[in-house]
Structure 1
Amino acid sequence: MKTASARRGGPRAADGLRVLVTGASGTFGRAICARLTELGAHVVGLDLAPRPDDPVEVLACDITDDTGTASAVAAAIDRLGGLDLLVNNAGIGGPAPAELPPGDEVRRQLDINLLGAWRVTAASVAALVASRGRIVMVSSRMAAMQLPLAAAYGASKRALVAYADALRLELGTHVGVTCVYPSAVRSPIHDSTAEAGLSLEGMSSYEPLAGVVDTVLRAALGRRVRRDLATTRRGAVEFFLARHLPALTDRIVARTLAARARSGAFEGAELAAGVVRRHRGTP
């Protein structure tokens, strides 16, 4: 007999759902794991540095390691007895101006944000196909609307969406794939950028963590598999404009950057020296 929720087309029940979450000891991951557990899901996490107070069992895993990732995913699936939902949440940020040659920081972000998700997903495919499961990719607004001085993060998240698109075409008969696009949430992911003097505080409006978690749950539990989900109304507008009126969003971001550069917001930041010189009209 169908429940009232099912008759109304409400969300699927999370009770008993077998879930794997990457980056499970971080700001987003801990909150996602806690909420899913509260709803009755069985959750195992992966993280480079599990914490003693994690809300679920978290296996130590370096998702930049091919062999180690495959082994950790297999161990998680064994503990769960299968897999119904994969949340690719692990990610890092950091300063990476597009005008400078790609170095270790760029490679690190691409390896974790894109290739890490790819490794975990590839190791999970058989179990997800067997369960007719779902994959949720925690991407970023910057996958659609790039911000300056953080080229590696935006490139990695846009590439993650392209990877999700390919997965959807290949697995769509059996596995649902959804990309979620948070804007900006206060978390340690911004620390390295701020320490380099490249804080983009004036270019982003922060949103509550709860909204990101709610959107991940909508992607995971909604009756209909959604392709893309923004986490706020403002984010949905930005996503729409970036997709359909990119020249307009470029102008808005460029004007904001120019104002910050001229105001001295990047004073002393070596990585932003070129931007500052150009906007101040100096050689």
Structure 2
Amino acid sequence: MPTPLPRRLRRLPGQNAVVTGASGAFGGATVTVLRHLGVNVVGLDRKPAPGVLGCDITDDAQVRARVAEAVDQLGGRLDLLIHYAGIGPAVDIGEEPDVHVHQALEVNLLGAWRVTSAALPALLRSRGRVVLTSSLLANLPFPFAGAYTVSKRALVAYADSLRAEYGTHVGVSTVYPGYVDTPIHESSRATGVALDGLVPAERARDTVMAVVRAAASRRAPRDVAATGLGSVALHLTRHFPGTTDRIVSLQLGLLLADGVFEDAEIAQGLHARHVGADPRPHVSRGGTR
């Protein structure tokens, strides 16, 4: 005889879901868990796979076509839309926005917006639910993660606005993972400014189960962290931003004093500023340099 599902998960069996980033670490695991719980799932990802439609979420026409195809595969009903697709380039926030910044905004913010817009008519018919995956870094600025931080904070604003306008008919939840060792950190590792070992780590399953619980709740929770420590961090960063700034500044000073990032080209200016170099332009006979 099958083991009964926990009460908090009993609304999921028989529901229809679309998951973005479904070939990634979070998305793939979530698809597996949802299917195990009896949810019908179609994935969207740049990398197609069995049960996952190939979709570039920065392409308006492609998004419309793939979301329509996914809903059609699900029999015309969509109860749940889960967003994981994201990238995390390493950038110097003082430089002008480059291709990496534009990509972060296109994927992390506008990609979720596009897919939600395309799925919204079906979600409205079913009084469904949207779960958007942001990050604790949305409220915890860390050097060289600026494009990611800005895009994820903007994603929170999008979720809040969506809830304000459509919350009478569609549930909207935002989940805030902490640092999890996934391929999204490959860019910062290649640049020499990875967060590995510098912040408390969470497990991928923490995020997956936080998303699944948000999807299964009788009422859509507003903001959800993936762990108990993450909940404390979320409360601190959202309600005490000045304290958060001081903590980040202190931690960064200690890290730089220990030589962290010292070999990374992107971090040379940051190191120079923190060892007391005059940040004002130097004026010589030839002018400002």
Shared fold per TM-score greater than 0.5? yes
Report whether the alignment pairs 1:276 with 2:263. no
Pick the aligned partner of 1:10 from 8, 11, 15. Answer: 8
Partner of 2:283: none
Whole-angstrom distance in 1 between the partners of 2:5 and 2:107: 38
What is the CA-CA distance between 1:274 and the residue it aligns to? 1.1
Report whether the alignment pairs 1:88 with 2:86. no
> Can you give the 5+ residue segments of structure 2 that lack an aligned partner in the other structure?
279-289
Partner of 1:245: 240
Whole-angstrom distance in 2 between the partners of 1:254 and 1:174: 42
Would the aligned equivalents of 1:144 and 1:243 in 2 still touch at CA under 8 Å?
yes
Whole-angstrom distance in 2 between the partners of 1:16 and 1:267: 53
What is the CA-CA distance between 1:146 and the residue it aligns to? 1.7
Report whether the alignment pairs 1:203 with 2:205. no
Would the aligned equivalents of 1:85 and 1:135 in 2 still touch at CA under 8 Å?
yes
What is the CA-CA distance between 1:104 and the residue it aligns to? 0.4
Q: Render the CA deviation track for 1:86-132: whole Å, top value 9, x for unaligned.
A: 00110110101211111000000000000000000000000000001
Pick the aligned partner of 1:77 from 60, 63, 71. Answer: 71
What is the CA-CA distance between 1:208 and the residue it aligns to? 1.1
Whole-angstrom distance in 1 between the partners of 2:81 and 2:217: 15
- Following TM superposition, where does structure 1 have runs of at least 4 consecutive aligned residues deviating by more than 4 angstroms? none
TM-score by length of structure 2 reads 0.91
Q: Which moved more, 1:111-120 or 1:164-173?
A: 164-173
Q: Render the CA deviation track for 1:193-233: whole Å, top value 9, x for unaligned.
A: 01101112343111111111110011100112110001111
Partner of 2:179: 184
| Partner SS state of residue 73, structure 1 | helix
Whole-angstrom distance in 1 between the partners of 2:168 and 2:276: 55
Report whether the alignment pairs 1:42 with 2:40. yes
Partner of 1:62: 56
What is the CA-CA distance between 1:254 and the residue it aligns to? 1.1
Partner of 1:220: 215
Question: Identity, % of aligned pairs?
Answer: 49
Bigger radius of gyration: 2
| Paired AA for residue 22 in structure 1 | T
| Partner SS state of residue 174, structure 2 | strand
TM-score by length of structure 1 reads 0.93
What is the CA-CA distance between 1:174 and the residue it aligns to? 0.7
